[in-house]
Amino acid sequence: MSQAHINPAAIAASIEQAINHPSLPPVNQWQPSHCGDIDIVIKNNGQWFFHGTPINRPQLVRLFSTVLRKEQTDYYLVTPVEKLKITVEDVPFIAVAVEITEESHQQQLIFTTNVGDKVVLGVDHPLQIRTVAEQSKPYILVRDQLEALINRNVFYELVAKAVTNEIAGVCHLGLWSNGQFFSLGYL
């Protein structure tokens, strides 16, 4: 695939839409043609790069994150008229903070990502521990197929608040959120 050219008018229109309509755009409803690849890389640490240079404007990263879509194993920036493939080394977001509303089975764990999304751990936003390169890593579903890696400091905070719960005769360490238990692992 050839490198795509950035359309400044389309970016400006997207920025204006994001400013005037703070909810997320309906990227899953848009079906533009694949226009090519763009040299945007989201590193393992959540940093976005364009042509090897860090994108240091948080508003621009936030804008791009709102038009991000995953299809099978590939990631795309999608507008109503363009679809550009980008590179994501692991997952596009990092969970950088967690707020715990109270201490009980009905508590809510509210995660904040590096791009400002807030998600409540629950059925629609489950936590999953996966082994990647022989290392266990915690992830939370942010939206659609887009996940956030829970950063180490936040994970340590979760472990410090974890409780035990027996599941199918096995004792698990985990957390309650929205009335559901999420295992961090078994003891």
77-106 pLDDT, tens digit each: 999 999 999 999 999 999 999 999 887 778
Segment 107-123, tens digit of pLDDT: 999 999 999 999 999 99
**Stretch (H or E) spanning 20:** helix 8-20
**For domain 93-186, which CATH number applies: 1.10.357.10, 2.40.40.20, 2.30.270.10, 3.30.1490.20?**
2.30.270.10
Average pLDDT over residues 10-16: 56
User: Which residue, chain included where needed, has tokens 């004792």?
Assistant: 171
Residue range(s) of every CATH 3.10.540.10 domain in the chain: 8-88
User: How deeply is 131 buried, as exposed, middle or buried, from its count of CB atoms within 10 A (0-12, 13-18, 19+)?
Assistant: exposed
Is the pLDDT score of 67 beyond 80?
yes
Enter the pTM of the model. 0.84
**For domain 8-88, which CATH number applies: 3.30.479.30, 3.10.540.10, 3.30.390.50, 3.40.630.10?**
3.10.540.10
Distance CA 5, CA 38 (A): 8
Strand, helix or coil for residue 154? helix
Which amino acid is located at 67 in the chain? V
Residues in a beta bridge with 71: 74
Residue range(s) of every CATH 2.30.270.10 domain in the chain: 93-186
